[in-house]
Amino acid sequence: MRAVLDACVLYPPVLRALLLGAARAGLYQPLWSERILEEWARATKKLGPAAEAEARIEVALTKYAHPSSLLPPAYGLEKRLSLPDENDIHVLAVAIAGSADAIVTWNRSDFPRQTLAYEGVDRCDPDGFLWKLQSQRPACFAKVLAEVNAKSSKIASQDISIQKMLKKAKLPRLLKAVLN
């Protein structure tokens, strides 16, 4: 499976760690463009200059860890596409150019299913996407989840339960699947 990760799902640290961890585990192939990565880095500005600097380091590390995920702009495609928010057309263009199966995003209204289906692309919210990956390969996903949880606990300097971590990351479907 190939999926474009919208900037809004790369911004939250735990969600990003789960998505990229699942990619490293071979559960899917992530795709993005320089513009998507730049949007992620710029979104951290509201947290202060240090946060943006950290995000730019994360962007560089992500590009290094996933060199085949970075796609060039698809300007020719962008000209023929239409979405409710013109600023999101580049995301759909990347999905088409990269033969993606889906766009992973929280922005449901900006990516109408009918428009995406016409282009052969699905829209997945991150909770449903991660739930699907976990359902397909639970043992493999459990390792990813344990790694992300350990890293989150280390950063917080205290043990954080998987339940609390997934709840805070707004991943209720995944949480329910993991607890069962």
Per CATH, the number for 2-126 is 3.40.50.1010
157 pLDDT band, cuts 50/70/90, is confident
Provide, rounded to the nearest whole percent, the portion of the chain with pLDDT above 90.
86
DSSP bridge partners of 80: none
39 pLDDT band, cuts 50/70/90, is very high
- Domain residue ranges of the chain, discontinuous segments joined by +: 2-126, 132-179
DSSP state of 44: G
The confidence score (pLDDT) of residue 45 equals: 85
Mean pLDDT, range 130-156, rounded to an integer: 95
73 pLDDT band, cuts 50/70/90, is confident
- Beta pairing class for 29-33 and 122-124: unpaired
52 pLDDT band, cuts 50/70/90, is confident
Asked whether 64 and 24 are in contact (CB, 8 A), the reply is no
Say yes or no to pLDDT of 126 above 90: yes
Please give the Cα distance from 130 to 135 (Å, whole number). 8
The confidence score (pLDDT) of residue 155 equals: 86
Say yes or no to pLDDT of 178 above 90: yes
pTM, rounded to two decimals: 0.94
Mean pLDDT, range 137-141, rounded to an integer: 96
Instruction: Give how far the C-alpha of residue 66 lies from the chain's centroid of Cα atoms, to the nearest Å.
Output: 13
Q: Which of 24-28, 45-49, 55-59, 167-171 has the lowest mean pLDDT?
A: 45-49
Torsion angle of the four alpha carbons 167, 109, 52, 160, in this order, in degrees rounded to the nearest 10: 0
Mean pLDDT, range 24-31, rounded to an integer: 97
Please give the Cα distance from 75 to 141 (Å, whole number). 36
Mean pLDDT, range 66-84, rounded to an integer: 92
